[in-house]
Amino acid sequence: MSVKSCVNVVPASRQGPRGPPEALRPSACAEAEALGEIREQRDMLKACAPACKASCSRAIAEYDEGQRKTTGFGLDAKAKERVLKACVVTCGKDCEKAGKSYDYIIPFRF
C-alpha cells in the first residue's frame, strides 16, 4: 500500500463563504509505502503516519517561513506543535478511510 498526503496551510482571510479556501502556494506532499500484508485498518498507519507527518511538517514550516518574511512574525514553538499534532491526527484518521481522497479544514487562530 502506498499513501500520498498533501497538506496546505491557508490564512483564515482566504476562507470564502463556501467551499475550500484559496491556497496561496502549492500543497506540500509526501509519499510513504507500507510493505507486508495489510490485514486490519490499523495496519495502514504504517504508511499513513509517515506521509502525514512529513506533509504536515513541511506545509506548516513553509507557512511559518512565509509569515516571518512578509510580516516579521511567525508561529511560536507551542503553536507549531499544536497545529502539527492536529494535522497529523486528522490526516491519519482520513487516511485510514476507504476511498481515494478527502479534504478537511482544521481551524486555528494564532
- Triad 102, 62, 5: Cα angle to 5°: 25
CA dihedral 40, 41, 43, 49 (to 10 degrees): 180
pTM comes to 0.79
Q: For residue 109, is it within any domain? A: no
Domain count, the chain: 1
Q: For residue 53, is it within any domain? A: yes
Q: What's the pLDDT score for residue 45?
A: 77
Q: For residue 40, is it within any domain? A: yes
Backbone angles phi, psi at 7, to 5 degrees: -130, 145
Distance, in Å, from the CA atom of 108 to the CA atom of 82, rounded to the nearest integer, reads 9
Helix axes 77-95, 45-71, angle to 10 degrees: 140
Q: What is the pLDDT of residues 36-90, one digit of tens each?
A: 667 777 777 778 888 889 999 999 999 899 889 999 998 899 989 999 999 999 8
